[in-house]
Chains A and B, each alone.
Chain A
Amino acid sequence: MPPLVAVSRGIPARPSDADRTVGTTWSDAPCPVLVADRDGGLVRMNGAARTLLPGAVDGEPLDRRVPVWLSDAHLRVTQGLHAPADAPLAGSIDDRFFAAHPTPGADGDVVWWLVEETDRRLAQALDDAQGRSRILTEVSSTLLSTLNVARCMETATAMAAEHLAEAAVLVAPSQGRRYPLTHAQRGGRVSHVTQRIDVAAVPGLGEALQGFPPVPARWINPDDLPDWAVPDGFAGPVGSVIVTPLPGHGVPAGALILLRSSTEQAFTEGEELFARLFAARAGAALSAARLYSEQTRITETLMQELLPPTLTSVHGVDFAGGYRAAKEQDRVGGDFYDVHPAAHPSQESLVVLGDVAGKGLDAAVLTGKIRNTLHALLPLADDHERLLNLLNGALLTSRHTRFATLVLASVSRRGGKVHLRLTSAGHLPPLIVRNDGTVEEVDTRGTLVGALPAVTASTVRTVLAPGETCLLFTDGITEARGGPLGDDLFGDHRLRRALTQCAGMPAEAVVERVQMLASQWVGAGRHDDMAAVAITAPKTGRLTVVNGRASGQEGRRNR
Chain B
Amino acid sequence: MRGGTPENRLADRLREQLWQAVVDGEEHRAVDVVHAAAADGVDEQTLLLEVIARVQEKIGVEWAADRLTVAQEHAATAINERVVASLADRRRAAGRTQAPRGRVTVSCIDGEWHAFPARLVAEVLGLHGWRVDYLGAQTPTPHLVAHLHHTDPDAVLLSGSIATHLPTAHAAVTACQAIGVPVLAGGRAFGPGGRYARALGADRWAPDARGAVEVLAAGLARPRPAAVRQVSEDLPHLVDQEYTMVVQSRPQLVKQTLVELETRFPAVRHYSDVQRERTAEDLAHIVDYLATALYVDDPEVFTGFLEWTAGVLEARHVPPHSLLAGLDALAGQLRDFPRTVSLIEQGSAAVRGRPAPRPVLGPDLGV
- A residues contacting B by CB (< 8 A) are 141-143, 145-148, 150-151, 155, 292-293, 296, 324, 328-329, 331, 483-487, 497, 501-506, 508-509, 512-513, 515-516, 519-520, 539, 541, 544-545, 547, 549-550, 553, 556-558
Neighbouring B residues of A556 by C-beta, 8 Å: 67
Distance in angstroms between the alpha carbons of A151 and B176 in the assembled complex: 14
Give the segment of B26-34, B182-190, B323-331, B340-348 that binds chain A: B26-34
Given A148-B152, A484-B280, A497-B274; A329-B142 close (CB under 8 Å)? yes
21 pairs, CB–CB < 8 Å, chain A vs chain B: A141-B227, A143-B225, A145-B178, A146-B180, A150-B152, A296-B149, A296-B150, A328-B142, A483-B277, A484-B284, A485-B255, A501-B69, A505-B71, A513-B70, A516-B113, A547-B25, A549-B69, A549-B71, A553-B72, A556-B67, A558-B65
Report the stretch among B43-51, B74-82, B351-359 that lies at the interface.
B74-82
Q: Give complex CA distance A64, B23 in Å.
A: 104
Identity of the chain A residue whose Cβ is nearest the Cβ of B81 in the assembled complex: A508
A501 to B284, CA, bound (A): 22
Interface pair A506/B78, CB less than 8 Å apart: yes
Given contacts A142-B225, A505-B71, A509-B78, contact A484 B140 (CB under 8 A): no
Contact across chains for A147 and B149 when beta carbons are under 8 A apart: yes
Contacts of A486 in B (CB 8 A): 250-251, 254
Select B150's contact among A148, A329, A512, beta carbons within 8 Å: A148
List chain A residues, Cβ under 8 A from B82: 506
Chain A hits for B146, CB < 8 A: 296
B62 contacts which chain A residues (CB < 8 A)?
557
Partner among B77, B151, B227, B274 whose Cβ is within 8 Å of the Cβ of A145: B227
A485-B254, A512-B74, A550-B72 given; A155·B180 CB < 8 A:
yes
Residues in A whose Cβ lies below 8 Å from that of B240? none
Set A146, A329, A553: member contacting B140, Cβ < 8 A: A329
Instruction: Please judge, given known A-B contacts A145-B225, A486-B251, A549-B69, whether A505 and B284 are in contact too, CB under 8 Å.
Output: no
Interface members, chain B 239-261 (any A CB < 8 Å): 250-251, 254-255
Contact A558-B67, Cβ < 8 Å, known A145-B226, A148-B152, A293-B150: yes
Given contacts A151-B152, A516-B113, contact A485 B280 (CB under 8 A): yes
Cβ of A503: which chain B residues have Cβ within 8 Å of it?
A: 71
Q: List the 3 closest pairs (A to B, CB-CB), nearest first.
A: A486-B251, A484-B284, A484-B280
B179 at the interface (CB under 8 A from A): yes
Among B29, B138, B280: residue with most chain A CB under 10 A: B138
**Interface membership of B216, Cβ < 8 A:** no
Q: Known contacts A146-B225, A541-B26: does B150 contact A505 (CB below 8 Å)?
A: no
Q: Which residues of A contact B138 (CB under 8 A)?
A: 324, 515, 519
Q: Bound complex: CA of A141 vs CA of B179, how far in Å?
A: 10
A544 to B281, CA, bound (A): 32
Shortest beta-carbon distance, B256 to chain A, in Å? 11
Residues of B within 8 A of A513 (CB): 70, 74
CA distance A155 to B226 in the complex (A): 11
| B224 close to chain A: CB less than 8 A | yes
Q: Distance in Å from the Cβ of A491 to the closest Cβ of chain B?
A: 11
Besides the known contacts A512-B113, A544-B25, 19 further A-B residue pairs in the complex with CB atoms under 8 A apart: A142-B224, A142-B226, A148-B149, A151-B225, A292-B149, A296-B146, A328-B142, A483-B277, A483-B281, A485-B251, A485-B254, A501-B71, A502-B74, A505-B75, A506-B27, A513-B70, A519-B111, A547-B25, A550-B72
Q: Name B141-187 residues within 8 Å CB distance of A.
A: 142-143, 146, 148-152, 178-180
B42 at interface by CB-CB < 8 Å: no
A545: contacting residue among B24, B74, B226, B283, CB under 8 A? B24
Most buried by A among B28, B72, B225, B277: B225
Q: Are B74 and A505 in contact (CB-based, < 8 A)?
A: yes
- How many residues on B have C-beta within 8 angstroms of the other chain's C-beta atoms? 52
How distant is B56 from chain A, measured CB to nearest CB, in Å? Answer: 14
Q: Which A residues are in CB contact (< 8 Å) with B143?
A: 329, 331
Partner of B179, one of A147, A502, A504, A506: A147
> Contact flags (1/0) for B13-41 with A, using CB distance below 8 Å?
00000000001111111000000000000
**CA of A549 to CA of B226, assembled, Å:** 56
B231 within 8 A of A: no
In the complex the two chains form, is A484's CB within 8 Å of B227's CB?
no
| Contacting pair B24 A544 (CB below 8 A) | yes
- State whether B225 touches A509 (Cβ < 8 A): no
Indicate whether A550 sits within 8 Å of B152 (C-beta atoms), given known contacts A146-B225, A328-B140, A485-B251: no
* A505 to B27 Cα, complex, angstroms: 11
CB within 8 Å of A: which B77-101 residues: 77-79, 81-82
A155 to B251: give the CA distance in the assembly, Å. Answer: 47
Which residue of the partner chain B has the closest CB to A158? B224
B residues less than 8 Å from A296 (CB atoms): 146, 149-150
CB pair A484–B251 under 8 Å, yes or no, is yes
Given the complex of chains A and B, what is the CA–CA distance between A89 and B250 in angstroms?
A: 75
B68 part of interface (Cβ distance < 8 Å): yes
| B68/A553 in contact, CB under 8 A | yes
Across-interface contacts of B227 in A (CB, < 8 A): 141, 145
- How far is B14's CA from A218's CA once the two chains are assembled, in angstroms? 75
Instruction: Decide: A550 and B225 in contact? CB cutoff 8 A.
Output: no
B251: chain A residues at CB < 8 Å are 484-487
Contact check, B255 vs A141: say whether CB atoms are below 8 A apart. Answer: no
Is the CB–CB distance between B180 and A151 below 8 Å?
yes
Choice from B65, B75, B77, B228 contacting A504 with Cβ under 8 Å: B75
**Residues on A with beta carbons closer than 8 Å to the beta carbon of B140:** 328-329
Q: Could you tell me the distance between the alpha carbons of A441 and B356 in the complex, rounded to whole angstroms?
A: 46
The chain B residue with its CB closest to the CB of A324 is B138
The complex places the Cα of A552 from the Cα of B150 at a distance, in Å, of 51
Find the B residue at minimum CB distance from A482: B251
Instruction: Look across to chain B and name the residue whose beta carbon is closest to the beta carbon of A328.
Output: B140
Residue of B nearest to A542 (CB): B26
User: Which of B67, B142, B250 is in CB contact (< 8 Å) with A557?
Assistant: B67
Closest A-chain residue to B222, C-beta based? A151
Assuming the contacts A151-B152, A549-B71, asked whether A557 and B226 have C-beta atoms less than 8 A apart, the reply is: no
- Shortest distance in angstroms between B287's beta carbon and chain A's nearest beta carbon? 9
Residues on the B chain within 8 Å of A141, using CB: 226-227
CA distance A539 to B82 in the complex (A): 15
A103 and B223 CA atoms in complex are apart in Å by 59
Question: How distant is A305 from chain B, measured CB to nearest CB, in Å?
Answer: 18
Interface residues of B in 176-207 (CB under 8 A from A): 178-180
Given the known A-B contacts A145-B227, A550-B72, A557-B23, are A484 and B78 also in contact in the complex, defined by CB atoms under 8 Å? Answer: no
Task: Say how far A439's CB is from chain B's closest CB, in angstroms.
Answer: 13
**Neighbouring A residues of B280 by C-beta, 8 Å:** 483-485
- In the bound complex, residues from chain A placing their C-beta under 8 Å from that of B111 are 519
- Knowing A145-B227, A558-B67, the reply to whether A509 touches B74 (Cβ < 8 A) is yes
- In the complex, which residues of chain B have a beta carbon less than 8 angstroms from the beta carbon of A328? 140, 142
A541 to B227, CA, bound (A): 56
* Cα separation A403 to B106 with both chains bound (whole Å): 39
How far, in whole Å, are A509 and B28 apart by their CA atoms in the complex?
A: 16
**Measured CA separation A142–B227 after assembly (Å):** 7
What chain B residues lie within 8 Å of A142 (beta carbons)? 224-226
Contact for B77 among A509, A544, A545, CB less than 8 A: A509
**Given A328-B140, A484-B254, A504-B75, are A544 and B26 also a contact pair (CB < 8 Å)?**
yes
